[in-house]
Structure 1
Amino acid sequence: MKPIRVLIAPNAFKHSLNAIDIASAIQKGLEQSRLNCVCECFPVGDGGDGTGELMIKKYDGLVVSADVNDPFDRQISSSFGLVNNGETAIIEMANASGLQLVKPAELDPLRATSFGTGELIKLALDKGVKEIILAIGGSATVDGGTGILRALGIRFLTAEGTVLTTPESLTELATIDVSGLDQRILACELNILCDVDNVLIGEQGSAAVFGPQKGATSGGVKKLDASMNKLAEIAFKQTGIDMIRVKHGGAAGGVAAGLYTFCNAKLVNGIDFFLQFTRFDKALDKADIVITGEGSIDEQTLHGKGPFGVAFQAKHKNLPVIGLAGKIPLEQNEELNQYFNVLLAIGNGPTDIGTAMQLTEQNLIRTAWQLGNLLAIKSL
């Protein structure tokens, strides 16, 4: 009997394992089972941190090292990738402006900026790229992209002409001077990979939803929301573009809205762009079954998360899809059932979240092993 061809295409399990390690653990469990199978690992990203790295690896791209500023203007070593014969730059916001660069005690989105990411963009432009792909997940900032825009030459000024450089100071914004904007960015195709559809301000805005994750108190959230509101107000007066209404605009603390407004950026669904860019359809053509996964698969997964993108494309080719996750819904969800033939939680018993995250690899290997044995019974 022919071996079953298994395509393993998980997203990262946030705060636990990256997508590459998740795929490897699932493959290990399947290969230890009684299932006669051939596995292909195709780890995916939906715009969250790690997405850019996966895209660079898929294209065997060139990694360019660079010294830039972290969220608090400290010099760090960072990098970006070049693919397509140097015509496309892939930039990971987390590599310059990410939570991973900041100690928990240092978190302060009232002061943190995206300036370092802007420096990476400028360095990519110096390489003569025609396209920039920006993965914006994992940022430590809620600055509306003003840090990036400052690195590209835009100035944010008070009525007296004082230059504003931090998110908290934007409540004093009176004028946005775009005369110094690096015009090369306007001639470049700029795609921003978004994994959320939040807007810029309000209860579902960048400050309210993401501010607390980045260290903002309830008072800090209100200040940041006021800053983003002022930024949107002045931007609308000068450009006619309403940043508040931009879908995905709240992603990465408003970076999406800022670059859409001033750099003509395209805000794209992260997983859809990733799968198209990496030619996921070619891998599907060789598969008999697809296994995907993420830390949690639930109602939110259906709103553009990695496993949904994988399952959506697999279903178009009539392939069965199995989802593995640390957490799945207790009740049946009809919409999830349309895309996932089986959903399995990988936990081996009641435990706290910290312990569960530490055991992710072991639980994935064990679950994939049992899954393989179950599929082997079916193929008898």
Structure 2
Amino acid sequence: MNILIAPNAFKNSLDAQSVAEAIALGLQQSRLDCQCQLFPVADGGDGTGSLIIKHLNGTFINTPAHDALGRPIAAAFGLIDGGRTAVIEMADASGIRLLKTTELNPMLANTFGTGELIKAALDKGVTKIIIGMGGSATVDGGMGILHALGIEFLDGDGKSLKPIAAELINIAAINTSNLDKRIPGCEIIVLCDVDNKLLGPEGAAAVFGPQKGAAPAAVTMLDAMLARFAAITLQQTGRDMTTIKHSGTAGGAAAGLYAFLNAKLVSGANHFLELTDFNRMLQNCDIVITGEGSIDEQTLQGKAPAAVAAAAKKKGIKVIGVAGKVPAAHSEALNQVFDQLLSINSDPVDLATALKNTRNNLIITAQKIGDQLALS
């Protein structure tokens, strides 16, 4: 039996490659006679860029940058397509994983370092840039990125503002005359792992601000700041960043890049599968196993396991989904996408324990899957 193992990362536990390896090991320990192909996937979240570069045999370019709090760091981006396309991982410069929990502060954190990576890529002569925006520590609407590329944010007195979220509320004008002249000739594609728009109860501040250290009062302020940014942007460019699908991605950075860099915001999962020619992997495949940390009906809104399952279903291939957490109640929507959904946690456990045991539980679950398939 030919099995394609195509999981996303299990957040805060294992990256996608490690998840795939654990599932393969469990299958090999089972009674099933099988051949496993490992094809870790992503949807724009943290780790997407690295997987694209590896799948397409790209090269990594090291470059200095700054983290979300402005400290110098060593970062990297990738080149694919014969050096014509750069792949940038926002989390490599502006990521939450680069900060201590006590340092999280979206009022002060900014995306400037990601802008530095874009400039470094342009220096290599690329004409296309793909950006995976998951895992950022920021809610600045992309202000830092835009500042790094030459855009100036001005207050009512015409003075330049620091490129941090706390200053968004003071924007009176935006000077784009010094925007890097190479930007108009470069196609920019933003891989988004969420559908959220910029503002409101489902917006960048409300949904993602708390994960990045924002207390309730700060969430309200951040939403107002992003609204101010959007209003000035609409006034000057005619582009309404509040109505665009995916605009809440990465603390609204996707919205800023859409408005000022003409970036195309796309479903990260679907674009990833297309870019890496995932359909090729489905040839001569009997079963697909996919998964991520949690699978529920929200997974169907652009997450990698759902995109993998949809691609497999089109070819009539059975799909098994595994996750740390799956719905206890029946879900017709999920059942239309996944033939079987399994939790790797056999008993209710606290989150810390579940995360610690992810690899072992994946192996055990995969072995059970293999034994079950051997009997069918």
Q: Give TM-score, length-normalised by structure 2.
A: 0.99
Aligned match of 2:55 in 45, 58, 70? 58
Q: Number of residues paired by the alignment?
A: 375
Q: Distance in 1 between the 2:200 and 2:184 partners?
A: 30
What are the superposed Cα offsets for residues 244-303 of structure 1, whole Å, 9 maximum, x if unpaired?
Answer: 111100000001100000001000000000000000000011211100001111010000
- Residue 265, structure 1, aligned to residue 270, structure 2: no
Residue of structure 2 equivalent to 1:154: 151
Query: Helix, strand or coil: the match of 1:335?
Result: helix
Aligned match of 2:291 in 282, 290, 293? 293
Aligned match of 1:176 in 174, 177, 195? 174
Deviation at 1:318, TM superposition (A): 0.3
What are the superposed Cα offsets for residues 171-220 of structure 1, whole Å, 9 maximum, x if unpaired?
Answer: 11100000000121121110000010111111111001000000001111
Residue of structure 1 equivalent to 2:374: 376
What are the superposed Cα offsets for residues 56-88 of structure 1, whole Å, 9 maximum, x if unpaired?
Answer: 001111100011011011000000000111001
Residue of structure 1 equivalent to 2:11: 14
What are the superposed Cα offsets for residues 106-137 of structure 1, whole Å, 9 maximum, x if unpaired?
Answer: 00000100000000000000100011000000
Aligned match of 2:82 in 47, 60, 85? 85
Q: Distance in 2 between the 1:61 and 1:188 partners?
A: 19
Deviation at 1:348, TM superposition (A): 3.1
Aligned match of 2:229 in 231, 243, 248? 231
**Alignment-mate amino acid for residue 140 of structure 1:** A
Residue of structure 1 equivalent to 2:38: 41
Q: Distance in 2 between the 1:148 and 1:315 partners?
A: 39
Aligned match of 1:341 in 336, 339, 342? 339
- Residue 324, structure 1, aligned to residue 311, structure 2: no
Aligned match of 1:106 in 72, 78, 103? 103
Q: Distance in 2 between the 1:126 and 1:102 partners?
A: 28
What are the superposed Cα offsets for residues 156-185 of structure 1, whole Å, 9 maximum, x if unpaired?
Answer: 000112211211111111000000001211
**Alignment-mate amino acid for residue 226 of structure 1:** A
**Alignment-mate amino acid for residue 276 of structure 1:** E
Aligned match of 2:115 in 92, 115, 118? 118
Q: Distance in 2 between the 1:17 and 1:167 partners?
A: 31
Q: Distance in 2 between the 1:199 and 1:149 partners?
A: 19
Residue of structure 1 equivalent to 2:306: 308
Query: Helix, strand or coil: the match of 1:243?
Result: coil
Residue of structure 2 equivalent to 1:135: 132
Q: Give TM-score, length-normalised by structure 1.
A: 0.98
Q: Distance in 2 between the 1:176 and 1:25 partners?
A: 50
- The ranges of structure 1 where at least 4 consecutive aligned residues each deviate by more than 4 angstroms after the TM superposition are none
Q: Distance in 2 between the 1:149 and 1:273 partners?
A: 24
In structure 2, list runs of 5 or more residues that go unmatched: none
**Alignment-mate amino acid for residue 317 of structure 1:** K
Q: Distance in 2 between the 1:376 and 1:355 partners?
A: 31
- Residue 164, structure 1, aligned to residue 161, structure 2: yes
Query: Helix, strand or coil: the match of 1:196?
Result: coil
What are the superposed Cα offsets for residues 320-375 of structure 1, whole Å, 9 maximum, x if unpaired?
Answer: 00000011111111111011000000113232110011000000000000110110
Aligned match of 1:67 in 31, 44, 64? 64
Q: Distance in 1 between the 2:268 and 2:56 partners?
A: 17
| Mean CA deviation greater in 156-165 or 72-81 | 156-165
Q: Distance in 2 between the 1:293 and 1:66 partners?
A: 33
Superposition pairs for residues 203-222 of structure 1, below 5 Å?
203-222=201-220
Q: Distance in 1 between the 2:42 and 2:80 partners?
A: 17
CA RMSD, 1 decimal: 0.6
Q: Distance in 2 between the 1:214 and 1:164 partners?
A: 22
In structure 1, list runs of 5 or more residues that go unmatched: none
Query: Helix, strand or coil: the match of 1:244?
Result: coil
Percent identity (aligned)? 55
Deviation at 1:51, TM superposition (A): 0.5
**Alignment-mate amino acid for residue 210 of structure 1:** F
**Alignment-mate amino acid for residue 331 of structure 1:** A
Residue of structure 2 equivalent to 1:95: 92
Query: Helix, strand or coil: the match of 1:39?
Result: strand
